[in-house]
Amino acid sequence: MSVRRAITSGSTFEEQIGYARAVVDGDRVHVSGTTGFDYRTMTLPEGVVEQAEQCLRNIGAALREAGCTFADVVRVRYLLPDRADFEPCWPLLRAHFGAARPAATMMVCGLADPRMRIEIEVDARRGAGEPG
C-alpha cells in the first residue's frame, strides 16, 4: 500500500483553492501547475523567461522535498496564453529537462491571472533518473 503525502509551498493560492503544490503517492510525485510567483513575496516577474525561471525554482523545491530531482521527471506540461512566449524559454527548459527527456506537451490556454505568462506541471518517479 503506497503512502500519500501532500507538499505545500506556503502559497496563499493553495489555501484559498484547496490543493497542494505536490502530492507524493508511493514512488510517484505529481507537481501541480506552477506559475512564476515567488510565494515568499507574492511577486510575479514581468518577462516570460523570468517567470519560467521562478516556476522551475518552485518546482525544484517541491521535487527536493519529495526526494526527487529534475532528472526524475517523466512528464512535463507547459501552459502558455501566447504561443510566441514558448520558444524564448527553450534554452532554460532544456537546461532543466534535457538530460531526463520527459514526455512533454505545450498547450495554449488562458491562465488564472492575466499577468501569468507560463505555468508548468510535472510528474516524476523517484529513482527514475538513476542509471540503471
List pLDDT tens digits, range 101-112. Answer: 999 999 999 999
**Domains in the chain, please, with CATH?**
4-125 (3.30.1330.40)
Identify the band that residue 1 occupies on the pLDDT scale cut at 50, 70 and 90.
low
pLDDT of 2 over the 90 cut: no
pLDDT of 18 over the 80 cut: yes
C-alpha distances in angstroms, 34 versus 1, 77, 115? 28, 10, 14
What is the value of pTM for the model shown?
Answer: 0.93
Dihedral of the CA atoms 130, 59, 104, 19 (nearest 10)?
120
